Amino acid sequence: MSSDQDHLQQTDTEERFDFKKDSEAAYAAEKGLTEETIHAISDDKDEPDWMRERRLRALKQFQAMPMPTDWPGQPDLTEIDIDEIVPYIRPDIETRGGVDDWTDLPDEIKDTFDKLGIPEAEKNALSGVGAQYESEVVYQNMLERWEDKGVIFCNMDEAVREHEELVKEHFMTDCVPPSDNKFAALHGAIWSGGSFVYVPEDVTVDMPVQAYFRMNSEGMGQFEHTLIIAEENSEVHYIEGCSAPKYSAFNLHSGGVEVYVGENAHVQYSTVQNWSKNTYNLNTKRALVEQDGRMEWISGSMGSKATMLYPSTVLKGRGASDNHITIAFAGEGQDIDTGAKVYHNAPETKSTIESKSISKDGGRTNYRGLVHIADGAENSSTAVECDALMFDNESTSDTMPYMEINESKVDVAHEATVGKIGDEDIFYLQTRGLDDDDAKQMIVSGFIEPITEELPIEYAVELNRLVELEMEGSLG
């Protein structure tokens, strides 16, 4: 490909993510977080009393908990001021809960998702698509053949109304209670939008379902909730994409993800995030896995000013397994603190964690992980591998693994490597006809291959493009 073609491709990808759109809001909450805010959000959504009560309890927990500051080397969160965040913006569309025909969206919202490639992805690779704009899902669709098998894919606000008993049983109870951490409590108080996925017993959804979350307004917070329930012997792959344009004021993203993996079920949760570099990304994600169930987390964190994200899995049943593959990229002014948590609470459970990180121009990446093997979880095994690649002497990369092993009959392995791109590697590729930039890009593409090969081809290509743009310093 010529350099002109490269530039055009990068410019096109940059425009897809960093553009801004003026759009009308049907309702916007006042800045800050009070009981009045909770009542206003709940009233606007016409929620049942039990959800309003859970929000209010979560608010009290949030107010009682201190801001996390005691983790060694954690990102600086002092700039976050909840009183300056707009917690809820409902876009101006005629149908609450979103439309199922793309052409029914307002032009400014439709243009946003057209640029992000959502309609094309839906045609080519997906069983279902949900698209969230600001605080609510504006579009939701599912192929009829999956609906006929009892698969449910809808937005969370609709799920609260139409599948109330399922949601009431699972929403922020056993998996991610508001008491888990301060930002989980914040999320429980002001969550809005997100996805609900239910896969019945013995059903395999053989094409991914996707949700895309877009923050378009300055100084807002996005707090979508994703709840996935995979019954016994079922299988589903869920893909999450996120982006926001760059503004001068900071934005806050504090989503919540809960995954219930039934006996012998398989769930893969893939994330490609490209938040702008004024966004604080502070999510809580957790899966509970029953006997012989399998959970996979595939995650690429390309943007944000600061990220604290540690997908967690509790292996509850004998023979349950968990796999994490993560890639983090930190450029100038970025602090990307990511990792994984796994709790082996039953015998013969297995986990693997593979973490890749890249830092340049003074950026910082950190792997922060926890593996806990409970007393009695005999014949369990875990393997952790952390690889970091740095472009210069100003960048940093840290590894902070923590292992709690309370059972003797287990296999535990940990490996970590940190290094810079070697001059000899660059020289070798240059002797084969590549220039300096292309040589570095080839090395990085090989470095992140373990995650790209786990994604559908459209998303693998997108992830590689985002990494190329980050290396050029073009985004955010």
The alpha helices in 191-345, defined as continuous H runs, are none
Which residues, 6 or more positions from 374, have their beta carbon under 8 angstroms from its beta carbon?
343, 344, 345, 406, 407
Please state which of the ranges 130-139, 300-309, 361-370, 452-461 shows the lowest mean pLDDT: 130-139
353 in Cβ contact with 381 (< 8 Å): no
Angle between helices 436-447 and 457-472 (to 10 degrees): 130
pLDDT tens digits for 216-273? 544 557 788 999 999 999 999 988 876 544 444 568 889 999 999 999 999 999 887 7
C-alpha pair distances (Å), 320 with each of 199, 268, 345, 376: 19, 14, 10, 15
Higher per-residue confidence, 443 vs 105: 443
pLDDT in tens, 109-168: 555 555 545 445 444 444 445 455 554 444 445 556 777 889 898 889 889 999 999 999
pLDDT at 182: 95
Residue 447 has pLDDT above 50, yes or no: yes
Nearest Cα residue to 272 out of 2, 17, 7: 17
Strand-strand pairing, 136-142 and 209-214: unpaired
Angle at CA of residue 408, ends 318 and 382, nearest 5°: 55
Give how far Cα 101 sits from Cα of 111, 115, 350, Å.
14, 17, 43
Please, how many CA atoms are within 13 Å of residue 281, restricted to the half-sphere of its CB? Answer: 31
pLDDT tier at 204, thresholds 50, 70, 90: very high
DSSP class of residue 220 equals: B
3-state secondary structure of 430: helix
- pTM of the complete model: 0.83
- Kindly list the domain boundaries of the chain, sorted by start residue: 3-472
* In the predicted structure, residue 296 carries a pLDDT above the cut 90: yes
**C-alpha 262: how far from chain center:** 22
Its sign, for the CA torsion 247, 368, 272, 157, is negative
Radius of gyration of the chain (CA): 22
Reading the block at residue 304, the tokens are: 């944000």
Q: Strand 152-155 relative to strand 195-199: parallel, antiparallel, unpaired?
A: antiparallel
Mean pLDDT, rounded, for 345-372: 94
Q: How far is CA 223 from CA 68, 83, 89, 134, 367, in A?
A: 19, 16, 11, 9, 24
Residue 128's pLDDT is 46
pLDDT tens digits, 311-320: 999 999 999 9
Helix %, strand %, coil % for the chain, to 5? 30, 35, 35
Q: What pLDDT shows up at residue 271?
A: 83
| pLDDT computed for residue 86 by the predictor | 79
User: Mean pLDDT, to the nearest integer, of 410-427?
Assistant: 78
Match 């990511």 to its residue by tokens.
Answer: 338
Distance of alpha carbon 399 from alpha carbon 416, whole angstroms: 8
The predicted pLDDT at position 313 comes to: 98
User: How far is it, in rounded angstroms, from Cα 272 to Cα 31?
Assistant: 29
Average the pLDDT over 424-442 and give the result.
72
- pLDDT attached to residue 137: 46
Could you tell me the end-to-end alpha-carbon distance of the chain, in angstroms, rounded to an integer?
25
The partner residues of 309 in beta bridges, in order of sequence, read 338
User: Which residue in the block uniquely carries the two structure tokens 């996390």?
Assistant: 68
* Cα angle, residue 258 at apex, residues 367 and 255 outer, rounded to 5°: 65
| For the chain, counts of helices (H) and of strands (E) | 13, 25
Sign of CA dihedral 155, 157, 163, 167: positive
Mean pLDDT check: name the lowest of 341-355, 402-416, 461-475.
461-475
The reported pLDDT for the residue numbered 96 is 47
Give the mean model confidence (pLDDT) for residues 374-402. Answer: 92
